[in-house]
Structure 1
């Protein structure tokens, strides 16, 4: 029995002392993803520009919109990851819908220009302007990346006009709008 125990101890020592053949497996795992070109506004592109009194004392349009109560511009923060975003702005005429069938010498429509300016990453500003009198939007590319900073896009309303420069504005409320689209470019 002593011999069996000794043999067993010797065999166990031989197993422990002999290195096992090491096996390994190796390889490479590729990790990837994509980023789509996109633009987003940190806050909605919306709000109101109140032009106040549209007419001068003689009843014709105040071209400078001097009665504006909170200025003629609004700023927006837009983030784009593309290299050359496209700007689109479409001004829609101010119309007094309650004044129908304006007689000669009067008008219920005021046109204006909407200027959309975007600051580029290199510090230059690109502006496009749309006149509400013309149908369709005005578009253009920034020619740079959009600056990664707050208030990098500005809308300004300017240059009020009527189809007849001596037309008297019909009394009442006038409403218009400006559509803005900023599209990422790959």
Structure 2
């Protein structure tokens, strides 16, 4: 990590579980008190294809990061951190989630960088839409865990460019499907 713009530097952990669906993966991480990270890969045609990472300490989410675009200045998309990363991952459709175990000391730098911090229950609420899991996560979180008023949904809704991109992708997908089904003349603007 460096200066005022910390970079995510997490070494590769040991894969302990891979599954479809964020809720099941977060529940499994909480149950096994996993320290490490979850790699989240959106599977939907309407979602961005860039994966995100959610770090965990004893099963409780601590930090989030989502790489956006190729990192070049021309694509107009910046990497997302913290609750903004959750908003970037909260797209439509299923996700594949891989859980990795990693010693806590290998996550110290990212856990100490406030730019990556997420409220412990936010991933369960925003990515899994599971209030019961969110409540169990909140109960397991340390008392000093970051809770914030900003939600990932609010961050997402404030990102007009992302909303417009999703609408354009949905429109293109609908036109493609209509053409496949012989309905291409039915979707005139």
TM-score, scaled relative to structure 2: 0.28
Greater strand content: 1
Say which structure, 1 or 2, has more relative contact order (CA 8 Å, 6+ apart): 1
TM-score, scaled relative to structure 1: 0.28
Greater Rg over alpha carbons, structure: 1
